[in-house]
Chain A
Amino acid sequence: MSVVLVAIFAVPLLVCAALFVGAAVASRRGEIPTRGWGRLAGWISSAGALTSLVLAVTALLSYRAGVDVSVSAVWFHVGDLEVPFSLRLDGLQAVMAVVVAAVAFLVHLYSVGYMHGDRDVSVYFAELSLFTAAMLLLVLSSNFFLLYVAWELVGASSYLLISFYFERPAAAAAGKKAFLTTRVGDLGLLIALFAIVWQTGSLDYDAVFAWAATPGFQGAWAVAIPLLVFAGAVGKSAQFPLHVWLPDAMEGPTPVSALIHAATMVAAGVYLVARAYPLFEAAPVSLDVVAYIGAFTALMSATVAVTQSDIKKVLAYSTISQLGFMMAALGAGAPEAGVFHLFTHAWFKALLFLGAGSVIHATGRQTVQELGGLVRTMPVTAWTFAVGGLALAGIPPFAGFWSKEEVLGSLLAHQPVLAAALLVASFLTAVYIGRLFFLVFLGGPRLAGDVRARGHESPWVMALPLLVLATASLVSGFFGAGFLGQRLQHFLSIGAAGAEPPGTPAWFTALAIAVGVAGLGAAWLGYGRSSQRAGEALGFDIQLRSTLGRAYGVVERAYLVNEFYGRMVVGPLVAAGRFLWLGVDGRVIDRAVDGLARVVPGLGGLVRRVQSGEVRDYLAAVAFGVIFLVALALGGLR
Chain B
Amino acid sequence: MTGLLLLLPKATIGIAALLALLLDSLSGGRARRRVVLAVVVLLSAGAVVAMVGIGRTGVFLEGALVVDRFSIFADIVLLVLGAVVALAALNGVGSDKDAGDFYTLFFLSLAGASVLASAGSLIMVFLAIELALIPTFALVAFRAEDRRSFEAALKYFLLSVFASAIMLFGFSLVYGAVGTVALPLPGDAASSGLLLAGIGLTLAGFGFKIAAFPFHQWLPDAFEVSHPEVAAFLAVGPKLAAIVALVRILEGLAAQNGAWTSAVAGIAVLSMVWGNLGAFRQRRLPRLLAYSAIAHAGYALVGLAGGGARGMDGAVVYFAAYSAAVVGAFLVVGILARGGIGDSLGDIVGLGRRRPLVAAALTVFMISMVGVPLFAGFWGKFSVFLGAVEGGVAWLAVVGVLNSAMSFGYYGNVIRLMYLEGGTDATPPRSAAGAPAGGVSAHGQTVVAGAEGWGIRVALGVAVAFTMLLGIVPGILFGALGVSAGL
Contacts and interface: CB of A to CB of B under 8 A. Distances in A.
A186 to B, nearest CB: 8
B159 A615 contact: yes
Most buried by B among A31, A76, A197: A76
A76 B317 CA distance: 15
Given A194-B386, A576-B277, A580-B278, A634 B408 contact: no
Contact of B416 (A78, A163, A198): A163
A131 B394 CA distance: 31
B14 to A, nearest CB: 33
Nearest to B449: A28
Contact of A632 (B266, B309, B474, B484): B266
A28 B450 CA distance: 13
Contacts of A149: 373-374
B196 A636 contact: yes
A254 B402 CA distance: 31
Contacts of B367: 156
A331 to B, nearest CB: 25
Contacts of A625: 204, 207, 213-215, 267
B353 A27 contact: yes
A179 B214 contact: no
Contacts of B446: none
A30 B443 CA distance: 8
B416 A166 contact: yes
A619 interface: yes
B441 interface: yes
Given A156-B367, A632-B263, A190 B401 contact: yes
B398 A187 contact: yes
Interface stretch (B15-23, B89-97, B253-261): B253-261
A571 to B, nearest CB: 14
Interface in A504-550: none
Interface in B384-406: 385-386, 389-390, 394, 397-398, 401-402, 405-406
Contact of A577 (B277, B402, B441): B277
Interface in A112-160: 148-149, 152-153, 156, 159
Contacts of A581: 278, 281
Contacts of A584: 220, 278, 281
Interface stretch (B150-158, B223-231, B330-338): B150-158
A629 interface: yes
Contacts of B41: none
Contacts of A195: 389, 394
Nearest to A574: B280
B80 to A, nearest CB: 20
B420 A580 contact: no
Interface stretch (A263-271, A385-393, A470-478, A606-614): A606-614
A615 B397 contact: no
Given A152-B372, A180-B406, A614-B217, 14 more contacts: A24-B357, A30-B447, A80-B486, A149-B373, A152-B373, A153-B373, A184-B402, A184-B405, A573-B277, A584-B281, A614-B155, A626-B204, A628-B214, A636-B258
A215 interface: no
Interface in B359-374: 360, 367, 372-374
Contacts of A635: 259, 262
Interface in B33-61: none
30 contacts: A24-B360, A27-B353, A76-B473, A76-B475, A149-B374, A153-B372, A153-B373, A159-B412, A163-B416, A166-B420, A167-B420, A176-B408, A180-B406, A187-B398, A191-B385, A198-B386, A617-B217, A619-B158, A622-B215, A625-B204, A626-B204, A628-B214, A629-B203, A629-B207, A630-B196, A630-B204, A632-B259, A633-B260, A633-B263, A634-B259
Contacts of A622: 159, 162-163, 166, 204, 208, 214-215, 217
A76 B372 contact: no
Contacts of B197: 630, 633-634
Given A27-B356, A198-B389, A618-B218, A633 B259 contact: yes
A187 B402 contact: yes
Nearest to B356: A27
Contacts of B474: 75-76
B381 to A, nearest CB: 9
B386 A634 contact: no
A183 interface: yes
B103 interface: no
Contacts of A153: 372-374
Interface in A58-78: 75-78
A243 B385 CA distance: 27
Interface in B465-485: 473-475, 478-479, 483-484
Most buried by A among B385, B405, B475: B405
A618 B217 contact: yes
A325 B420 CA distance: 39
Contacts of B256: 633, 636
Interface string B397-441: 110011001101100100010011100000000000000000001
A621 B398 contact: no
Given A75-B475, A637-B259, A183 B408 contact: yes
A79 interface: yes
A12 to B, nearest CB: 15
Given A607-B158, A625-B215, A633-B203, A176 B478 contact: no
Interface size grouping (class) on chain B: 35 or more
Contacts of A634: 193, 196-197, 200, 259
A610 B154 contact: yes
A409 to B, nearest CB: 39
A66 B259 CA distance: 58
B400 to A, nearest CB: 9
B401 A191 contact: yes
Contacts of B280: 577
B232 to A, nearest CB: 23
Interface in A154-205: 156, 159, 163, 166-167, 172, 176, 179-180, 183-184, 186-187, 190-191, 194-195, 197-198
Given A180-B405, A577-B277, A167 B421 contact: yes
A618 B217 CA distance: 6
B313 interface: yes
A76 B473 CA distance: 7
List the 9 shortest-distance A-B pairs measured between CB atoms, nearest first.
A636-B259, A76-B475, A630-B200, A633-B200, A632-B263, A194-B389, A183-B405, A625-B214, A149-B373
B475 A77 contact: yes
B113 to A, nearest CB: 22
A599 interface: no
Given A184-B405, A197-B386, A30 B398 contact: no
Contacts of B412: 159, 176, 179
Contacts of B208: 622
Given A172-B416, A577-B277, A629 B196 contact: no
B126 interface: no
Most buried by B among A75, A614, A633: A633
Contact of B200 (A24, A78, A632): A632
A278 B406 CA distance: 32
B180 interface: no
B209 interface: no
A180 B274 CA distance: 19
A28 B203 contact: no
A187 B401 contact: yes
Nearest to A76: B475
A32 interface: yes
Contacts of B419: 166
A629 B159 contact: no
B266 A628 contact: yes
A612 B309 CA distance: 44
Interface in B249-305: 256, 258-260, 262-263, 266-267, 274, 277-278, 280-281
A461 to B, nearest CB: 28
A451 interface: no
A179 B159 contact: no
